[in-house]
Structure formats: structure tokens, C-alpha cells
């Protein structure tokens, strides 16, 4: 007999939360239980996708066991996860059935591996990281906590992407490159050398266009 599906509450009730809900519905072993709002109490007065929207403090008094999964695609993800830690609820990890994750690689708790994403051999993904549709991550690469890898991004082997980075749609990072913490790689950029922390790079080859960045 198979184990019962994990009931999952999605943190957030905006557009990306609906995308996460869709992925939950397509992933065996997970079941959408509802959403959790922490900014606008008015959003809790109506359902979303036929499921309840709970106010964040309700996590202290739920009637059934649930797991959490953060449905924010920005650096506010870290803030929200920190906020709910007080409730001591476990986080789910979502790997869509069309994704390919090497059996030699590891995926941190709370992370989301979306449709047709690929994680190659001996690679490590941190906690609460998002690997979006069709993104590719090469072998022996290290991805930190709270990283967002947008659709179609391609990160080669032996790279290091430190925590809090945002790798935008279609960006390419060649092999053995390090992206410093909280930096943003713009859409379509081609990164050919190390990127320091807290900057934004764009273009081909990628160049720094902004400093003092705190992620996205």
C-alpha cells in the first residue's frame, strides 16, 4: 500500500503561488491543501483555486498535519520562511515527474524542481531553491540556499552559485564560474568569468551594470 500524499500549504497567494499549486497537483505524493497569506488579510476571505487561504498566524492551530512550500519567486522567500519557522512545520520538496535529477545529486528541503528541468551528476542544491521550467544545471555544481533559476537558464558543470542569487530566463553560465551571493544574472546574459557578490550583470559577455544588489 502506498503512503498517503503529503498535504501541502503554499506560502503566498499571488501568481507564482498558483504555478506552485499546479506543480503540486502533477507531482505524485503531494496534495494541495491551500495557501497561506502574510501581507493582505483580505485575501483570506475568498478561496484560491478552490482551496482556503489561511492567515499566517493560523499555522499555530491547524486541524491536520501539513507541509509547507514557499510560492514566492523573489528574495522575499527567505523572509517568509524565516517568519513561519516559529510554527515548527516541515517543508516539502517538489521534484516534478518530468524533471531529471541525478541519483548522485541532492536537493535541499523546500526546493522546487519544475517541468523538464535537469540536474546533472554530483550536484548539490540548497534549501528553498527554485529551478524553473526547462532550466539545466551541470555536473558537480553547487547551488546555494534561496537561489532562483528562471526558465531556460543553463548553468554548466563545476560552477558555484551562492545563496540568494537570481539567474534570469535564458542566461548561460559557462563551466567553473562562481556567482557571488545575492547577485542577479540578467535574462540572456552569458557569464564567462566569476561574478562578485551583490551585483547585477547583463549582456554577452556579461558585465556589471549595478552594485549594491540584494538579490531579487
Residues marked as catalytic: 139
Cis bond before residue 26 (omega within 30° of 0): no
**Going by DSSP bridges, is the β-strand pair 112-113/184-185 parallel, antiparallel, or unpaired?**
unpaired
Burial class (CB within 10 angstroms; exposed 0-12, middle 13-18, buried 19+) of 70: buried
**Going by DSSP bridges, is the β-strand pair 94-95/100-101 parallel, antiparallel, or unpaired?**
unpaired
Angstrom distance (rounded) from CA 11 to CA 17: 7
CB 144, CB 164: distance < 8 Å: yes
DSSP 8-state assignment for residue 120 = -
Angstrom distance (rounded) from CA 110 to CA 130: 9
**Going by DSSP bridges, is the β-strand pair 6-11/148-149 parallel, antiparallel, or unpaired?**
unpaired
CB 8, CB 64: distance < 8 Å: no
Amino acid at each position: 500500500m502506498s503512503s498517503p500524499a503529503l498535504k501541502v500549504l503554499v506560502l503566498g497567494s499571488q501568481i507564482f503561488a498558483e504555478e506552485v499549486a499546479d506543480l503540486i497537483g502533477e507531482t505524485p505524493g503531494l496534495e494541495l491543501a491551500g495557501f497561506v497569506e502574510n501581507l493582505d488579510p483580505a485575501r483570506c476571505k475568498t478561496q484560491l483555486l478552490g482551496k482556503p487561504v489561511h492567515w499566517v498566524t493560523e499555522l499555530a492551530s491547524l486541524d491536520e498535519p501539513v507541509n509547507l512550500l514557499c510560492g514566492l519567486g523573489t528574495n522575499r522567500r527567505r523572509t517568509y520562511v524565516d517568519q513561519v519557522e516559529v510554527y515548527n512545520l516541515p517543508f516539502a520538496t517538489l521534484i516534478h515527474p518530468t524533471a531529471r535529477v541525478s541519483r548522485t545529486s541532492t536537493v535541499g528541503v523546500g526546493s522546487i524542481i519544475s517541468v523538464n528541468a535537469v540536474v546533472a551528476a554530483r550536484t548539490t542544491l540548497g534549501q528553498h531553491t527554485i529551478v524553473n521550467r526547462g532550466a539545466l544545471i551541470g555536473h558537480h555544481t553547487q547551488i546555494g540556499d534561496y537561489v532562483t533559476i528562471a526558465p531556460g537558464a543553463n548553468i554548466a558543470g563545476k560552477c558555484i552559485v551562492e545563496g540568494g542569487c537570481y539567474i534570469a530566463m535564458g542566461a548561460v553560465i559557462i563551466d567553473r564560474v562562481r556567482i557571488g551571493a545575492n547577485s542577479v544574472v540578467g535574462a540572456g546574459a552569458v557569464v564567462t568569468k566569476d561574478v562578485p557578490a551583490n551585483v547585477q550583470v547583463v549582456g554577452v559577455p556579461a558585465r556589471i551594470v549595478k552594485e549594491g544588489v540584494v538579490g531579487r
